[in-house]
Amino acid sequence: FDEIIVDIAMKRKQYPRKILEYVINTIKTKQE
Amino acid sequence: GTPVSRVKLLDTMVDTFLQKLVAAGSFQRFTDCYKRFYQLQPDVTQRVHDKFITQLQTSIWEEITEIKQEGNMEAVLNALDQIVEEGKGRTEPAWRPSGVPEEDLRSTIVPYFLQQRDTLRRRVQRQEVENQQLAEAVLARRRQVEQLQLQVQARQQAWQALYREQRELVAVLREP
Amino acid sequence: MSVNPMTYEAQFFGFTPQTCMLRIYIAFQDYLFEVMQAVEQVLVKKLDGVSNCDISPIQIRKCTEKFLGFMKGRFDSLFGKMEQLFLQLILHIPPNILLPEDKFQELHSYSEEQFQLLKEEIEQLQEKYKTELCAKQALLAELEEQSVVQARLRQTLTLFDELINVGRHHGTSDFRESLVSLVQNSRKLQDLRGHIEREGASLETS
């Protein structure tokens, strides 16, 4: 249970940033 | 009034915990349990009890120090102090993950989409203005071309008239 | 009792506060046991040195268990209180606090349909931008074409001008007039020639 909590919490912390990088790259590529 | 730092709180709590634990393991109680040994060797009992207390305290403080170093805990707790200090102005409960990642992610992405939308709006606007100017230039050019075409047409007709008269001349010249 | 997973704290610390406390509990408890074990070993060793001692190691062990039993009870109770305070005051993110990485959440709380609308608007703007760019290309192409046509027409006009200049250069200011006068002169010449021919003929006959 503890590992699941930490795993989810880490995903909540890191994934938005990672996904954001892709989103920003996509937007830039579209603009180019 | 001034908030106590989490690191200081932690030290204070551990210190209090230890004080109370030491109080629980008082010499009185120690000798109650090791009564016969105490009667046999009271000095040794005193020294052993003192050693027990100092060793327990030393071990526990070493553990706390290790935990602080291992997870860089002091910096993390100080950072949390900072975050709490900055957010103390607000009273209502803050946002918390909804448990639906798509939903939570939306808000993270929205600022960039808004930025993209604003950029696109500006570009479209700028392009529209530029195209408006180009369109006016094209229209003006069309009028100029029309003028030129009329001029050329007039000249052409004049020359064609001339040509007809030239043919007439030839006819005249050929007359028997 | 519902367990509070303290996920938000885990997001900040990288571990759950409960795990951290468990780790501290186990470490402290180990130390208590170790120290007690050391105490017992010292006492037993001390007894070895005493002659005619009627205290056996078993009895020492019983004393240790009694003392440790009491200490463990106090330890658990004290640790429980300290753990509660840790989880409330130290390893806790107050409900009114938002972590920095989540600051967007409160700036832009967008519903699904708002999000969709925003995406659609972006797509429309992209299409519109493409259209405008195409229009720009078309306009530039027409301007380019118009320049060519204008040049061609001006060239034609220049040609006409040069023709007139050629005429002027040879004394005829206006082609048309000169052609008319040419026709008139030709007619006069023809009449003259006719007249001369007639005269010639009459001379032959006389």
Residue of B nearest to A13 (CA): B97
pLDDT tens-place string over residues A1-32: 889 999 999 999 999 989 999 999 998 898 78
Residue B130 tokens read as 């530029």
Separation of alpha carbons A27 and B115, rounded Å: 10
pLDDT tens-place string over residues C69-99: 999 999 999 999 999 999 999 999 999 999 9
Which residues in A lie closer than 8 A to residue C98 (C-beta atoms)?
none
B90 by DSSP, 3-state: which?
coil
Q: Is A31 in Cβ contact with B116 (below 8 Å)?
A: yes
Cα angle: B56, vertex B59, B60; to 5 degrees: 85
Residue of B nearest to A11 (CA): B101
Tell me whether C20 touches chain A (CB under 8 Å).
no
Q: Is B87 in Cβ contact with C97 (below 8 Å)?
A: yes
Tell me whether B27 touches chain C (CB under 8 Å).
no
Q: Quote the minimal CA–CA distance from A5 to chain B in Å.
A: 12
Residue to mutate among C4, C7, C13, C91, with most A CBs inside 10 A, is C7
Separation of alpha carbons B104 and C103, rounded Å: 11
The overall longest dimension of chain C from CA atoms, in Å, is 201
Tell me what ipTM this predicted complex has: 0.76
C5 by DSSP, 3-state: which?
coil
Over its C-alpha atoms, chain C yields an Rg (Å, rounded) of 59
pLDDT tens-place string over residues B96-147: 999 899 888 888 889 889 999 999 999 999 999 999 999 999 999 999 999 9
Q: What is the pTM of this model?
A: 0.71
Separation of alpha carbons B42 and B48, rounded Å: 10
Amino acid at B120: L
Q: Which of B97, B16, B67 is nearest to C19 (CA)?
A: B67
Q: Is B116 in Cβ contact with A27 (below 8 Å)?
A: yes
Separation of alpha carbons B96 and C105, rounded Å: 9
Sign of CA dihedral C152, C157, C158, C164: positive
